[in-house]
Amino acid sequence: MRASLFITCYNDTLFPETGRAVVQVLERLGVELEFHPGQTCCGQMHANTGFRAEAYSQAKRFVRLYQDADAVVIPSSSCVAMIRDQYRGLFADLGDSDLRSQFTALLPRIFELSEFLVDRLGVEDVGAYFPHRVTYHASCHGLRGLHVGDRPLRLLSKVRGLELVPLANMDRCCGFGGTFSIKNSEVSSAMLAGKLQDVLSTRAEYCTALDNSCLMHIGGALHRQYAGMQTIHIAGILAGTEASSAEPRS
Amino acid sequence: MSPTVLDPRVAPPFPEAALPILRNAQLRKNVAHATDVIQAKRAVLVAEKADWQQLRSAAASIRSNVLENLTAYLEEFESRCTAAGGVVHWARDAAEARSIVIDILREERATEVIKIKTMTSAEIELNPALQAVGVSAIETDLAELILQLGDDEPSHIVAPALHVNRSQVREIFARRMGLSDLSDDPQALTAAARSYLRRKFLTVHAAISGANFLIAETGTVSIVESEGNGRMCLTLPQTLITLAGIEKVIPRFQDLEVMLQVLARSATGERMNPYTSLWSGVTPGDGPQSFHVVLLDNGRSSILARQTERQTLRCIRCGACQNICPVYRQTGGHAYGSIYGGPIGAILTPQLMQMQHAQSLPYASSLCAACYEVCPVKINIPEVLIELRAQVVDQERRQSRRWFDLMFLGMKAANFAFASSLRFRVAQWLGRIGSRVFTRKDGWIHRLPSLGARWTVTRDLRGLPDQTFRQWWTARRKEDR
């Protein structure tokens, strides 16, 4: 099977180890991965901050770039939610009929990583080994935007050595919200404080999620507080095997 | 603490208004506790309805049908209500609504008026206007009474005094009712309110109410409440004035079947609310003999005219979005600077202000979409928030101060960088070089200047890695060859 990896702008720049982990997992499962060098950003940051015209130009760029892909895998639920929930509206207002039909044809081939593994490849046990105590935070866009349901938990529960600890208020936002964390920095921090209480009370070694954006937020505070817990993208966990242990995040 | 301002025209922006509240541990505890309790009750009662999603769909379609045909339903309501002996008034804006109400009360020579369940009266700032013409307004909803006696403002759509706990209520009642030995036992508190209010119910001859529903088919008005104080207000006085937003109409009596089910479960976590009052016009010898309905536009028609935003007017004021909202959970309602707080307030208030005020509210959300999930009439609040943000940015694009706004400049620069992969790679390189000076030996950034400081106020940031993913990918491909 062939698939094209859309790494997303912030994973590319800030979290390259997540990209390497996705490559490791998918190639281990026999997927032939491509990486389109022209890729940049899906437009989520601009759209969610109110910069529609700018978001449109990035959305158009994305569709043109991937129109011939067999499947596009994206290790970020919020970027996938951007494409699924907002592209249609942007193209209806600003695009032409060609773009709209290209998008409609492309849409069913867009996958968030856990969707791609469970739905497209039909795999729950990816052969991973990660001997640690882990808790899972349900990123808002994966949970309520993509309705990924328990796919990530099914993947994690098949990882050998992994002890999965349930997180109280798992579905409550961590307070990141993109530019929300800057514009409403104090309220965002107050939300984060509540999330940290729940995360720390699991006494896990790692907190994982489908989105590095939430994890950058939670992990940034854990680091600030010398809290002794790390964050790791779900791909990082799924990449580890007995032969090659997972890449440490930091 | 400075006095709470619930006027969007003068209230400080949300981030600023939130600051003192974030430091108010008592208020945050009260809000978190109260919303947890209501949410838990709601969750149980929603779970027991196997057809909850169908009920939501039905409620949403009833409400959106109303908005598609609003003129026809309002005219139908007017003619049925008039035929039943009511008088229907149309108010274009707050000033018109206030003068209609004042004229009616003058004619009745009223010096006092009792009030129940009317957020729209707060929206049009009715109480101060009444006071200016010598009419004192007495709130009879228990929570509203607590706020009125405590010189406080509502912070929640359904439970306006949700931010106040019972020891604070005890203090307010003891002080204002002269009951120095009052205990904070809920029964003692309600008994005190009861005897205070009974005197008012028996002596005041005019009342102002809001409306949960206006039924077009029969000209009926409906109010749902939990205390029975509303029932007193609606039946004892000679004159009753109902103030309702034009969007409150529903087509048929039978639509209550759906609407009352979703409202009670969403609002208070009850199968049925304790008091549901329904009245049509005037009944000779029974209840108010003079009945007026004031239909308030006050910006609603302009919302109606916009495709994406129209769904805002489906709202039935259940407050479920407030109870689930992680932002509201931290700040309560007052930070929103409007009688309408929480997610629904974040979209309704700026629209009622024609986007001329409250532009910070569409940004007072992390877009987590929990509000959309619980909304009984399926208002896609995140979608409307994003639409309103686009309008705010379009306003900024016309202002010359945008060239001094770091967020605006950053967004333009990022868009320039995202337009080609070469530009993006240059930006990544610049970012890596530029961030080096801030990156400590442990590889993390602890303090950033300017806008970045708003991140590092409570959060570290891992320093930019030496190699981007695309550089790794390219290097690996070369090795393979």
Domain count, chain A: 2
* pTM of the predicted structure, to 2 decimals: 0.97
Note whether A133 contacts B: Cβ–Cβ < 8 A: no
In this structure, the answer to whether residues A51 and A92 fall within a common structural domain is: yes
CB–CB contact B15 A86 (8 Å): no
- pLDDT(B4) > 80: no
**Mind listing the pLDDT tens digit for each residue in B59-73?**
999 999 999 999 999
- pLDDT(B5) > 90: no
In this structure, the answer to whether residues A234 and A154 fall within a common structural domain is: yes
Note whether A149 contacts B: Cβ–Cβ < 8 A: no
Single-letter residue type at A50? G
**Which residues of A, range 3-22, sit inside 8 Å of B by Cβ?**
7, 9, 11-20
Give the C-alpha separation, B447 to B468, whole Å.
23
CB–CB contact A45 B411 (8 Å): yes
Closest approach of B374 to chain A, Cα-based (Å): 11
Select from A120, A149, A165 the last residue of a domain. Answer: A120
The one-character DSSP state at A109 is G
Cβ count near B345 (within 10 Å): 26
Q: Specify the residue for token string 């798992």.
A: A170
What CA–CA distances, in Å, run from A155 to A112, A136, A202, A222, B430? 13, 11, 20, 25, 38
Give the C-alpha separation, B348 to B122, whole Å.
14
In this structure, the answer to whether residues A19 and A112 fall within a common structural domain is: yes
CB–CB contact B18 A186 (8 Å): yes
pLDDT-above-90 percentage for chain B: 98
CB–CB contact B458 A178 (8 Å): no
CB–CB contact B421 A191 (8 Å): no
In this structure, the answer to whether residues A104 and A183 fall within a common structural domain is: no
Q: Specify the residue for token string 């044809």.
A: A105
Of the candidates A57, A15, A38, the residue with the CA atom closest to the CA atom of residue A210: A15
In this structure, the answer to whether residues A31 and A113 fall within a common structural domain is: yes
CATH number at residue A49: 1.20.1050
Q: Residue A162 falls within a domain, yes or no?
A: yes
Helices and strands, counts by H and E, chain A: 13, 8
CB–CB contact A20 B458 (8 Å): no
Residues 6+ apart with CB under 8 A from A212: A10, A11, A14, A15, A18, A75, A76, A233
**Mind listing the pLDDT tens digit for each residue in B294-322?**
999 999 999 999 999 999 999 999 999 99
Select from A120, A143, A169 the last residue of a domain. Answer: A120
In this structure, the answer to whether residues A115 and A140 fall within a common structural domain is: no
Of the candidates B120, B89, B84, the residue with the CA atom closest to the CA atom of residue B107: B89
- pLDDT(B224) > 60: yes
- pLDDT given for residue A95 in this prediction: 85
- pLDDT(B1) > 70: no
Q: Residue A246 falls within a domain, yes or no?
A: no
State both tokens at B128.
């101060």
Closest approach of B43 to chain A, Cα-based (Å): 14
pLDDT-above-70 percentage for chain B: 99
Closest approach of A54 to chain B, Cα-based (Å): 6
CB–CB contact B411 A49 (8 Å): yes
- A48, A90, A187, best to mutate vs chain B, most B CBs in 10 Å: A187
Superfamily of domain B67-301 in CATH is NagB/RpiA/CoA transferase-like (3.40.50.10420)
Per-residue 3-state assignment (H helix, E strand, C coil) for chain B: CCCCCCCCCCCCCHHHHHHHHHCCHHHHHHHHHHHHHHHHHHHHHHHCCCCHHHHHHHHHHHHHHHHHCHHHHHHHHHHHHHHCCCEEEEECCHHHHHHHHHHHHHHCCCCEEEEECCHHHHHCCHHHHHHHCCCEEEECCHHHHHHHHCCCCCCCCCCCCCCCCHHHHHHHHHHHHCCCCCCCCHHHHHHHHHHHHHHHHHHCCEEEECCCEEECCCCEEEEEECCCHHHHHHHCCCEEEEEEEHHHEECCHHHHHHHHHHHHHHHCCCCCCCEEEEEECCECCECCCEEEEEEECCCHHHHHCCCCHHHHHHCCCCCHHHHHCHHHHHHCCHHHCCCCCHHHHHHHHHHHCCCCCCCCHHHCCCCCCHHHHHCCCCCCHHHHHHHHHHHHHHHHHCCHHHHHCHHHHHHHHHHHHHCCHHHHHHHHHHHHHHHHCCECCCCEECCCCHHHHHHHCCCCEECCCCCCHHHHHHHHHHHHC
Helix (H) or strand (E) holding A4: strand A2-5
R_g over Cα of chain A: 18
Which 3 state secondary structure label does DSSP give A171?
coil
Judge contact between B114 and B311, C-beta under 8 A.
Answer: no
Note whether B459 contacts A: Cβ–Cβ < 8 A: yes
Single-letter residue type at B428? Q
CB–CB contact A13 B464 (8 Å): yes
Q: Residue A142 falls within a domain, yes or no?
A: yes
Instruction: Supply the mean pLDDT for chain B.
Output: 96
Select from A91, A120, A149 the last residue of a domain. Answer: A120
Q: Can you tell me the mean pLDDT for B236-259?
A: 98
Residues 6+ apart with CB under 8 A from A97: none
CB–CB contact B460 A49 (8 Å): no
- pLDDT given for residue B153 in this prediction: 94
In this structure, the answer to whether residues A87 and A174 fall within a common structural domain is: no
Of the candidates B358, B415, B361, the residue with the CA atom closest to the CA atom of residue A180: B361
**Mind listing the pLDDT tens digit for each residue in B362-407?**
999 999 999 999 999 999 999 999 999 999 999 999 999 999 999 9
User: Of the candidates B369, B412, B418, which has its C-beta nearest A145's C-beta?
Assistant: B369
Of the candidates A130, A112, A135, A167, the residue with the CA atom closest to the CA atom of residue A247: A130
**Which residues of B, range 158-217, sit inside 8 Å of A by Cβ?**
none
**Mind listing the pLDDT tens digit for each residue in B164-219?**
999 999 999 999 999 999 999 999 999 999 999 999 999 999 999 999 999 999 99
Q: Residue A196 falls within a domain, yes or no?
A: yes
**Mind listing the pLDDT tens digit for each residue in B140-152?**
999 999 999 999 9
CB–CB contact B366 A188 (8 Å): yes
Report CA B48 to chain centroid distance, whole Å.
27
Q: What is the ipTM of this complex?
A: 0.96
Give the C-alpha separation, B102 to B106, whole Å.
6
Domain region containing A206 = 133-239
Nearest Cα residue in chain A from B423: A40
What averages of pLDDT result for each successive group of 10 residues across chain A (250 residues)? 97 98 97 98 98 98 97 98 97 93 98 98 98 97 97 98 98 97 98 98 98 98 96 97 68
Q: Tell me the chain A residues in contact with residue B466 when contact means C-beta distances shorter than 8 Å.
A: none
Torsion of CA B277, B282, B283, B285, to 10 degrees: 110
CB–CB contact A14 B470 (8 Å): no
Q: Residue A248 falls within a domain, yes or no?
A: no
Judge contact between A42 and A79, C-beta under 8 A.
Answer: yes
In this structure, the answer to whether residues A15 and A111 fall within a common structural domain is: yes
**Which residues of B, range 4-63, sit inside 8 Å of A by Cβ?**
14-15, 18-19, 22, 28
Report CA B132 to chain centroid distance, whole Å.
27
Q: Residue A249 falls within a domain, yes or no?
A: no
- pLDDT given for residue A243 in this prediction: 86
Judge contact between B120 and B245, C-beta under 8 A.
Answer: yes
CATH number at residue A210: 3.40.50
User: Of the candidates B14, B462, B467, which has its C-beta nearest A184's C-beta?
Assistant: B14
Give the C-alpha separation, B360 to B347, whole Å.
11
Q: Residue A127 falls within a domain, yes or no?
A: no
Q: CATH 3.40.50.10420: which residues of chain B?
A: 67-301
Closest approach of B330 to chain A, Cα-based (Å): 7
Cβ count near A149 (within 10 Å): 14
- pLDDT(B458) > 90: yes
R_g over Cα of chain B: 26
User: Of the candidates B18, B330, B393, which has its C-beta nearest A51's C-beta?
Assistant: B393
In this structure, the answer to whether residues A149 and A95 fall within a common structural domain is: no
